Structure 1
């Protein structure tokens, strides 16, 4: 889950996500998840020198105007939702009606998602939220306790185990904070009382019915998650759950709530589907020439060849990893401006949450958990 407000975990900051969404604690839950979309093309002036964007899966479907147009009476929109969901996903329309009759509107969800965006924290303040002793020690302990399963998934997918752990650490503090709202209530409220994002959330509500049809072990009335409807240790939205969740231990179910084999396999698969490159670098610290002009790429897609960035005055620091293409990040660190080159795998992390600071925090937490000594 296009840039929007950042979503933080155990801190109340409105944030945006792309694959998952949690509540006011984990980052993916905050504001509202958004379908994974390719980054916008870079400035036209450089078009001749740019690399291809990273291929992405198709966008997830949103609900039609008959369901989401606020000019249509709500009861009529709900009836249209029943028809849309039944026809699109083969769910029994009476089951949909009976379920929605038990869904509850929650003003607290509207308040949370409508809360004015707080001032965006600079990197020097954002980083300590995740890069602290408790989070690092918790990640090391979690990795040690689940090493065999994590290393197996890593070997199969090419996604390093410490990145899977870091995502869980950032999203839900290693499974401790996964959300207290009924997913049904969250999506119902946002689908029919939040016109700005109604197409997305009504689409996710329909996907929730499809998901519980495919995974009958999931109790639709008992599922808890963020105020945006994200679930489980990795904070997957219903569409992400349906499309990219994996059965990690072959038991015939995909349980992302707390079944770790499935959680690990699914987070890794999310990365793979969005373009993870086995063994590829993530980021590099960069230097800026004294006479270099400011440069702010339009997106996080690594479309700039390193020679193009060098011509603009930005170079990987000595000893840092390199790749064919990168994007440039300029962040406000403790000692002033920091310059980073984000490579393909950095972009893939950003599909989980479109904030570049989120991606860098996940990377640095993963490095600390793995004791790699990388930047």
Structure 2
């Protein structure tokens, strides 16, 4: 998904980090000595409420792992042993199998150190030019041209997804462009290492990641995957669209009908991103954002952000209106973008909010939106030649 060179660029997006918030606390002290492990990587994880899959018994886990107790980096972690107890009792996993698997897991000290720094940096308000800098990382020829090439190669799958889920092809591509540049880098961390580290050594968000670890083991078993093999982001996000395991279980689809949901497969990723948008309330044919018209100075006295909703009537009272009239009655959100030389205010429709369900960041959603438009324009131009 993202190289170390991309780290500050991607995590400043807040894909995973806006979800985490706060500093890494001191890790649990193991009862026996452990060896640390330090490895860089990157990513963003869709921010979801914890989803727990149904209990699954009588399925064979893949990998042949077996041990009487956990050894290696997580030897002596009482929290790991408690987690194994829960997986045995709740989902029928074999204890010796999980002991063997977690004996393979590596503690990613780099991840913990990076989160401790990045969490602090995300507490401040947007600085002058923050949107210009963010935008420049994605609105470039590499992302746009890759999108055009991917659209040509997977045109039929994109058409089918758009028809089935009501999501325009360009917005599916916008997600993949920002997340992994269409699979050019999907991450280099083993997911088992990433999720184990964040489950048992990142106390600020440990409960969330233990839920994701639980879902990852269920996903691996149901899809007959060796859980030590998949690689993804440092936060455990996977595939071209960087789904967390809970998102996989809830929204991933077998779009190529081969009997498996595979987020590293382009067709399954296309269908899964489209399904994610659809299930989160995408409104076919409706706008995403609109410029403002009227008394623009009034916008600076209003509260921007995803948590503040404005009706058309309240906007009218402030002397503001959307520059486009879609006959929408839904509440709108004020988007504040800080360019190098000026501040810009836009209105976000419900479809804009749907994009932020993938990543709770207005910058992220705007990058997806603008890339979607740019890729569509470039694709249309190339098709007309």
TM superposition shift of 1:360:
0.9
The equivalent position to 1:85 in structure 2, one of 78, 84, 87, is 87
Matched, 1:209 2:222: no
Matches within 5 A, 1:22-41: 28-29=44-45, 34-36=47-49
Partner of 1:274: 280
Query: Does the 8 Å contact 2:52/2:215 carry over to 1?
Result: no
| Residues 105 and 205 of structure 1: CA distance in aligned 2, closer, same or farther (over 3 Å) | same
Query: Does the 8 Å contact 1:131/1:365 carry over to 2?
Result: yes
| Residues 237 and 185 of structure 1: CA distance in aligned 2, closer, same or farther (over 3 Å) | same
TM superposition shift of 1:296:
1.1
**Structure 2 Cα separation of the partners of residues 92 and 313 of structure 1:** 64
Query: Does the 8 Å contact 2:87/2:93 carry over to 1?
Result: yes
Matched, 1:239 2:255: no
| Residues 198 and 162 of structure 1: CA distance in aligned 2, closer, same or farther (over 3 Å) | same
The equivalent position to 2:289 in structure 1, one of 272, 275, 283, is 283
| Residues 161 and 291 of structure 1: CA distance in aligned 2, closer, same or farther (over 3 Å) | closer
Scaled by the length of structure 2, the TM-score of the pair is 0.77
- Paired residue total: 326
Tell me the secondary structure at the aligned position of residue 99 of structure 1: helix
Deviations 1:92-135 (CA, angstroms, capped at 9, x unpaired): 33322221111111211212222234475611211111111221
Query: Does the 8 Å contact 1:296/1:329 carry over to 2?
Result: no
CA-based RMSD of the aligned residues comes to 2.8
Partner of 2:111: 109
TM superposition shift of 1:10:
7.6
Unmatched 5+ stretches in structure 1: 1-7, 37-58, 63-72
Query: Does the 8 Å contact 1:287/1:316 carry over to 2?
Result: yes
**Structure 2 Cα separation of the partners of residues 160 and 110 of structure 1:** 38
Range that drifts further, 246-255 or 327-336: 327-336
Matches within 5 A, 1:257-272: 257=264, 259-272=265-278
Spell out structure 1 runs of 4+ moving beyond 6 A. 18-21, 23-26
In our comparison, the structure showing a higher alpha carbon Rg is 2
| Residues 267 and 9 of structure 1: CA distance in aligned 2, closer, same or farther (over 3 Å) | farther
Tell me the secondary structure at the aligned position of residue 304 of structure 1: coil
**Structure 2 Cα separation of the partners of residues 26 and 366 of structure 1:** 23
Tell me the secondary structure at the aligned position of residue 101 of structure 1: helix
| Residues 365 and 342 of structure 1: CA distance in aligned 2, closer, same or farther (over 3 Å) | same
The equivalent position to 2:173 in structure 1, one of 159, 165, 169, is 165
| Residues 298 and 282 of structure 1: CA distance in aligned 2, closer, same or farther (over 3 Å) | closer
Unmatched 5+ stretches in structure 2: 1-5, 20-38, 54-74, 380-385
Partner of 1:200: 208
**Structure 1 Cα separation of the partners of residues 165 and 116 of structure 2:** 38
Deviations 1:5-59 (CA, angstroms, capped at 9, x unpaired): xxx87825444337999x9876525xxx5324xxxxxxxxxxxxxxxxxxxxxx5
Query: Does the 8 Å contact 2:262/2:269 carry over to 1?
Result: yes
TM superposition shift of 1:366:
0.3
Deviations 1:300-327 (CA, angstroms, capped at 9, x unpaired): 57x422221221233212x465622211
Partner of 1:47: none
Range that drifts further, 220-229 or 129-138: 129-138
